[in-house]
Amino acid sequence: MTLKIQTEQDDQRQLLMTIEVPEERVEKQMRVTARKLAKEVSIPGFRRGKVPYQVLVKRLGHDALRTEAVEDMLQAVFTEALDEVDPDIYAPANFDDMQLDPLVLKFTVPLTPEVTLGDYRELRKEIEPVEISEEAIAEALERIQTRHQQLEDADRPVESGDMVTISGKGELLPEDEANEAEAEAEAAEDATDDAETAEHDHDHDHPEDNVIFNTESVEMVMDAKQIFWGQDFVDNLVGLSAGEEKTFNITFSEEFEEEELAGREATFTVNVLNVRSRILPPLDDELAKLEGTFETLDELRESIREELQNNAEGEAKNALIEGMIDDLLESATLVYPPAAVETEIDGMLDNFKNQVTRAGWSWEDFLQLQSAQEDTLRENFRTGAEEQLKRQLALRQFIFDEKLRVSEDDLNAAIDERVSQFSDNEALLEGMRDYYKSGPGFDMLSSEVLMEKTYERIEAVLTGNAPDLTEEEVEEAAVEAEAIADAPEAEVAEAVAPEAAVTEAVEEVEETAEEAEEE
């Protein structure tokens, strides 16, 4: 009773499977299904479970019984077909269609994406060393001083550096006629036939959209580095006393950090409610002691330098990796199934749902409040999901092509580095070692080590110092990958370069990039 299986791969990395099931196998399943149903139905003249097969067929209907039997055998048939074809499955298959007699089943199986990178080893880029300026350290020390500052009411006009409590409102002014005409032309081009929607989208119908500042009370340090609106805002408040109000305009520079405000003019009306002078503690050893574990200002300064250096190096590494992904995608060929994009959308939507829940809303209430449908939100995520997928696939392929792997020695060295930062409690240290040797701890540490190796290799490639990939290395990697694929699940946790580490490392890079963009 061998299955007849036909397969065809389309141009989107999907395997179209047509499975014809022998009639004798269907008949056998129908009898099994009939025995199951006989225990559930009552037929006059027969004890429950003792109804003859032909009587059941007549009572239930041949097609109905056959359909029920197909449902009972569907998973087993599909699994058997997969075992025979052994495709490189990426996501759950989709059951497309069925012909009842003869029984023919049709499935679409998403296959693992195929990625071919260009000759990226010819890429070159100058990599500047990360240096921390004395100005950055001074700013960090000033923030520490601010944490320990004292405030005193000042019976005088506002001075630079004061802590001022204000209320007020700020609004963007209409753009000049040329810009307004251009905006209206674009709006007309993009407008739908729905006049109500067009009116809804028009700026002049929503003056609240132009409000960029509105508060009844907020504290601000009169320092342009600490105020979003910049030096002009500070200059207009300096000289005012508590109880005074001032209306003034500010024109934001074309290079203003908030793109929507760049080049625009805004009008502010501000009331000064309170003026306080800030008394900062001196930069000395006593300030360092206020920060906890430091005895001297030099120790605090060195700790700040080290932290800034680590942060800057981390940002530089991520920027280098992101830039490399951009370069890889320029010459890469990627073929992936639609299900791959849907999987990315699922992840993005789940994250969004979690954000909504953390904000105190139920998902249903949120949709109702937004007058939105989940399908619409999915479509809103589609472009970003596809871009994210491409970037993940490109970086993943780079890791595979470069044969980057995490060895047992790599992991042990990383574990030693981690546990050395903690106490001398042997029981605690042993527990930490166990945590990093299996499960989530293993995956997390593996991904971090792999990501560091990836950065080092990218740096080597871009500076022309990447090692040659010898045939021996390629062969070893292929054998190792095959061994991991064939290993029992219990052994995979001990294998080097686990797939989970690659996945987690790639996702970590994308998450860090997204956070950097938000900041």
**End-to-end alpha-carbon separation of the chain, Å?**
62
Q: How confident is the model at residue 495 (pLDDT cuts 50, 70, 90)?
A: very low
Q: Which of 58, 61, 39, 60 is nearest to 50 (CA)?
A: 39
The region of weakest confidence among 156-165, 355-364, 419-428 is 419-428
User: Cα torsion at 376, 377, 382, 385 (round to 10°)?
Assistant: -170
Over 50: is that where the pLDDT of 146 sits? Answer: yes
- Domain 150-279 belongs in CATH node 3.20.20.100: no
The tens digit of pLDDT for each residue in 19-46 reads 999 999 999 999 999 988 888 877 787 8
Per-position DSSP letters for 445-487, written without gaps between them: HHHHHHHHHHHHHHHHHHTT-PPP--HHHHHHHHHHHHHHHHS
Strand partners for 164: 220, 275
- Which pLDDT score, from 0 to 100, does residue 483 have? 47
- Which pLDDT score, from 0 to 100, does residue 345 have? 96
- Which pLDDT score, from 0 to 100, does residue 16 have? 97
Do residues 210 and 129 make contact, with C-beta atoms less than 8 angstroms apart?
no
Do residues 445 and 410 make contact, with C-beta atoms less than 8 angstroms apart?
no
Percent of the chain whose predicted confidence (pLDDT) is above 90 = 67
Do residues 295 and 287 make contact, with C-beta atoms less than 8 angstroms apart?
no
The tens digit of pLDDT for each residue in 280-325 reads 999 999 999 999 889 999 999 999 999 999 999 999 999 999 999 9
Q: Which of 278, 277, 269, 276 is nearest to 167 (CA)?
A: 269
The tens digit of pLDDT for each residue in 248-264 reads 999 999 988 888 899 99
Highest mean pLDDT among 63-72, 428-437, 510-519: 63-72
Q: CA-CA distance, 510 to 391, in Å (whole number)?
A: 8
Question: Which superfamily does CATH assign the domain made up of 4-112 to?
Answer: Trigger factor ribosome-binding domain (3.30.70.1050)
- Which pLDDT score, from 0 to 100, does residue 196 have? 38
Strand partners for 276: 153, 163
Backbone CA torsion sign across 271, 273, 277, 281: negative
Mean pLDDT calculated for residue range 428-450: 89
Mean pLDDT calculated for residue range 489-504: 46
- How many helices and strands in the chain, by DSSP H and E? 18, 11
Over 60: is that where the pLDDT of 6 sits? Answer: yes
Classify the phi-psi angles of 13: left when phi > 0, otherwise alpha if psi is within -120 to 50, otherwise beta. Answer: left
Q: CA-CA distance, 395 to 457, in Å (whole number)?
A: 12
Over 80: is that where the pLDDT of 157 sits? Answer: yes
Q: CA-CA distance, 517 to 457, in Å (whole number)?
A: 25
- Which pLDDT score, from 0 to 100, does residue 37 have? 87
Percent of the chain whose predicted confidence (pLDDT) is above 70 = 84
The tens digit of pLDDT for each residue in 106-118 reads 999 999 999 999 9
- Which pLDDT score, from 0 to 100, does residue 360 have? 92
Q: Which of 169, 142, 164, 155 is nearest to 247 (CA)?
A: 169
Could you tell me where in the chain the CATH 3.30.70.1050 domains are found? 4-112
The two structure tokens encoding residue 376: 């619409």
The tens digit of pLDDT for each residue in 168-215 reads 999 999 876 335 534 544 544 444 344 333 334 444 445 567 899 999
Q: How confident is the model at residue 432 (pLDDT cuts 50, 70, 90)?
A: confident
Backbone CA torsion sign across 324, 330, 333, 339: positive
Do residues 139 and 310 make contact, with C-beta atoms less than 8 angstroms apart?
no
- Which pLDDT score, from 0 to 100, does residue 314 have? 92
Q: CA-CA distance, 277 to 163, in Å (whole number)?
A: 6
The tens digit of pLDDT for each residue in 367-381 reads 998 888 999 999 999
- Which pLDDT score, from 0 to 100, does residue 499 have? 56
What does DSSP assign to residue 438?
S
| Residues of the chain by 3-state class (helix, strand, coil), percent to 5 | 55, 15, 30
- Cis peptide bond prior to 102, omega within 30° of 0: yes
Could you tell me where in the chain the CATH 3.10.50.40 domains are found? 150-279
Q: Which residue type, as a one-letter code, is found at position 86?
A: D
Strand partners for 279: 150
Do residues 158 and 240 make contact, with C-beta atoms less than 8 angstroms apart?
yes
Distances (CA, A) of 466 to 148, 316, 360, 395, 462: 49, 19, 50, 17, 8
Write out the H or E segment, with its range, that includes residue 96: strand 94-99
Over 60: is that where the pLDDT of 497 sits? Answer: no
